[in-house]
Amino acid sequence: MSPVWHPFTQHGLNEPIPEVVRTEGAALHTADGRRVIDAISSWWVITHGHSHPRLQAAIRSASERFDQIIFAGWTHEPAESLARGLVDMTPEPLQHVFYSDSGSTAVEVALKMALGFWANTDRPRHRIVVMQHSYHGDTIGTMSVGERGVFNQAYAPLLFDVATVPFPAAGMEQASLDALDAFCRQEPKPAAFIVEPLILGAGGMLIYSAETLRAYAGICARHGVLFIADEVMTGWGRTGTLLACEQAGVSPDILCLSKGLTGGALPLAATLATAPIFEAHRSTDRSKMFFHSSSYTANPIACAVAAENLAIWRDEPMLDRVTALGSAQQAGLDCIAGHPALSNPRRLGTIAAVDFDGARGGYLSGRGPWLKAFFAERDLLVRPLGDTVYVMPPYCIDPADLDRVWQAIGEAADTIDAQD
């Protein structure tokens, strides 16, 4: 047996674990000679495509000059130019960039910045308001602000208490907004509200309106509660705009980025904050500095490839590309819409999803494992969230490959229909 212990994998089931030997565009090439279409961008990280030539060249060039450099009190050009680029590309109030290594750490940092802001301005606050069905990562802190359930029940006693607003499903928007407003009025006041803008990813690709997002931000601003946007999944064009917040005209106090930050080529995350949040930590008092780091903070090679990703966003018609992919995704959804085994076809930008069996099963009890195997047999990497099947491919996916994915979803629905 291999000594490797895989994430979100039940080794006791002895399910096949294919070995990838090469990646290219929207495909993974396996040791047994298969070309597998990566319909989920390898957990939502790959934006431009696997092994993108510009990103690979940036890695080669940076690795000739750098390896890891301590970042506490030291700096390097890739981190500086990336930070300037991020400040330029994001809403104007976001002026400061803190680096870390993953989406989870981007969120941990955001939570610690929010609490640090209140502590350092002598108004300590600790409560975080979250949205039902959210997912923000797998560390103890990020699990605390995410949906409770099978993923984290073993650690439940260690998770901190949060205030939860209901998901703003159609017709429930006002109840959700009222809940946030009520939490913001309670004493002691919350430190922050954290939200996945416009679409909840791991919670089931649940979409809500830009008006609601704008109204959440307005409530936070009125009550002086910090607004944290977790754009770890939604950033870098996934929802049709560079950031999902743009569609609501919202500028968060703290913004979390990762996944597509490097185009998916290397791990990196950035947490951006406004001047007041940075200034609350800037002082001659050393006890007020931001106490967070990881050994690999701001890895120069990762920063260089992220800077190249930003250059691609500046140089190439990225928004046209995501709009075209969105239309192709809609065509795929339209082909399967109305199938009796499927419900709730939905799309936001390049992300499309549909529910099997009315999404009645849970993450572990539904059709997910059967569907995953069904797609794997057809050389497709599709990883359902319970009964929800979603397609979130790299932006370079070939139309014929995308057609194959949607055709397979239709075939899965036919097979289930015939079984029932």
Binding residues vs ligand PLP (CB under 6 A): 102-104, 107, 135-137, 196, 201-202, 230, 232-233, 258
State the binding site for pyridoxal 5'-phosphate: 103-104, 230, 294-295
DSSP 25: B
Q: Contact at 8 Å (CB) between 386 and 361?
A: yes
- Could you give the C-alpha distances from 225 to 87, 112, 114, 221, 406, in angstroms and in order? 22, 14, 9, 6, 43
Taking CB atoms, the residue at the shortest distance from ligand PLP is 103
Q: Contact at 8 Å (CB) between 232 and 258?
A: yes
Q: At closest approach, how far in Å is the CB of 138 from ligand PLP?
A: 6
Among residues 85 and 203, whose Cβ is nearest to ligand PLP? 203
Among residues 103 and 237, whose Cβ is nearest to ligand PLP? 103
Among residues 192 and 233, whose Cβ is nearest to ligand PLP? 233
State the binding site for substrate: 43, 135, 259, 293, 383
Q: At closest approach, how far in Å is the CB of 383 from ligand PLP?
A: 11
Q: Where are the beta strands (DSSP E) in 101-161?
A: 128-131
Q: At closest approach, how far in Å is the CB of 232 from ligand PLP?
A: 4
Tokens standing for residue 226? 């910090």
Q: At closest approach, how far in Å is the CB of 335 from ligand PLP?
A: 27
Q: Contact at 8 Å (CB) between 101 and 268?
A: yes
Among residues 102 and 309, whose Cβ is nearest to ligand PLP? 102
Could you tell me which residues are beta bridge partners of residue 254? 228, 273
Among residues 280 and 298, whose Cβ is nearest to ligand PLP? 298
Distance CA 63, CA 65 (A): 5
DSSP 33: S
Q: At closest approach, how far in Å is the CB of 151 from ligand PLP?
A: 12
Q: At closest approach, how far in Å is the CB of 260 from ligand PLP?
A: 11
Among residues 204 and 280, whose Cβ is nearest to ligand PLP? 204
CB under 8 Å, gap of 24 or more: what pairs does 30-35 form?
34/379, 35/379
Q: Contact at 8 Å (CB) between 326 and 347?
A: yes
